[in-house]
Chain A
């Protein structure tokens, strides 16, 4: 196995992110508390440089490190989304951690390490590279979930996430080893060549596919592998929850799609039936369980499960058709989902009730009177999550349903849309308490919003994405199509 300096240049974004993470870890103990804002700037600066580098790689696909890593438009699409979300996470965390008195410099280091893992995931052309990326991401997230050391829920979240995450990684690895047994390789192109003409009658291949599905199912948080999600999302610090709900889901989808299209694409008629079941279960359970939640973070956790179900519609549709518009719709959906979900979590993170975080739906009571702008933004995010036009959520749904209808599955679109109506109930319940209930008389317990310039930037980016892509999604659509065309 050889590699050249040119290969190193192509993974420069990954190297930069890891380096930045290391610098953060080293500098954190030596810096005075007042200087630690510098770490934020360092992280953001790194992201900006990486963004430029990755953007320049879109037009120049390359396979490097003897076929372990691939640099292409598909990977670049996810990486750009991940940089963006990571940047927002860092800005959100800056204020949030201060408010929660959790000011750890290493936090930013872990965010960057998780990012580097995600970047490896979406650009790996080999299952073992992918596994390494997954672990790097997961281990960083386990630590981040338990960051609120004084809070038992946070520790529980971390422990639960760790145990179930390790379990699912084991299953993933088992699937990889079976697939190696069935095909003799861990490289996606070689796997694709080995399975062409075969189907799932081969028991080894069948089990490998199932185990890979289960392993990815945990990472994507689709039903029935979603059990960890509500507890972890609720217990983890809100900025970490937002990062997990958006970035980790996006990276997992990115890796998952590459494996199942580039590697197991020959079996897509077989696996799409499996995903159809997962998709229906996810849509139904995610939306129905979200109905009964009283905690906003849990509600958003179930909502994020349900949204994975909508994205899976695009995956199911791909199994039924020749072109790749189904996959493009998944990319588009997850990008638009990122804006609205991150925005919603950012508002939750900002809402304080008394000294602590207000996370009950009731805590939003009368928010529209006290903070009309925050309430309006939350309204927009909720409407978008419910998929009502003219917001990004509608465009995302339009594209996945379009691919479902194109694949000859209009009934699936109809079922999904009926559950979208159910979802409107719980999203708009939040709108109802914000706008239509009076704040309680005791002003000491009424909610207040933390505001800072960084938070304003986060919210402005999120709402701009929701509104602009809701009205003019063209650039994003074209980029998603271009990215998908890079998948072999």
Chain B
């Protein structure tokens, strides 16, 4: 069998759906395998890199340089990019199975969990991701409008995304103007009347999920003071026990920094970021527009590292006109692929997508759509490595016939009138964005409409 699957005469052709970190790490793992492979990476946008482009905050430029590693992967002649192609609309699973031996879905978790409380859909109540995609210039969110004429904004949640939203609201135009923040967002934020930003967490300060690096940034803002009630730092015994475990370093550092914030003399900056703990929203109030959020006071119950928030029955109304929820993300179902509605992921065993427990041959997933929305960019690498390991272990069971691969898929798509964007095309878009940014002292000015991206190619 000189032409066994994965040999030089019959390369293993894999399609990856989604060009974020998980997609690139899956491609990288395939290229490193002891198998001849050709990898094609699909994205519904003409631009690659998923949340590195549309999620990572504009003022965290260094993190965005992760894309250099993806450029390097794309330099491999056995990797190609097919942008501006939507799975399920432009191409079906059956069509992909005719052109490729296997497909790996790395399409992330694109929607938000809901609070499930009355008033959630009042004007002024949004998901954190809408705001993030908006300030990062994602074409789907280009025309979203946020009422920044309000003075009080509330963010429900205390993870990394919640921290980003708070920081972007807290920063001055001068702190943002030299980042790659989208022009429409910078213009809107320059008119912001927001004065008080409340970041709400259900559990206590020792359980907060933001990292210490992110927390420290709130102490260094040009025109925003961090505010925390010292009483909330009077921790219960179980939380103190958590801090005595030296492996819990992030929490130890967070408490040190929050304590330092609480001991600062009252600030005089024009904005305030209020860290609030042991509170959870039970209702959003207002007529047509949000006017207040009702917060239930909680107390911690349970043993160290296993504490939960128990409602006390005592509530407080916090007047606010803008609210963002950031309490977790969910994947979005796609045609022909089973979906676990409870977890918001594709059901899978070590990356092999399953239907009622039985494995769909040649169909895999990695990243947030596989394990749920946890971890940061690098966390996706071992996850993609595991999925590729499953794929390679299944090799002998896959359809070993010769497949046309990326070239065949491109022909199919172009026959349907799809303008497929290659990596070379993306590099032209990239160069045009960088050139647009240069005049303004920004690392890039993103195209925020797909038509403008495609126009840069003609």
Partners in one complex: no
Residues of B within 8 A of A (CB): none
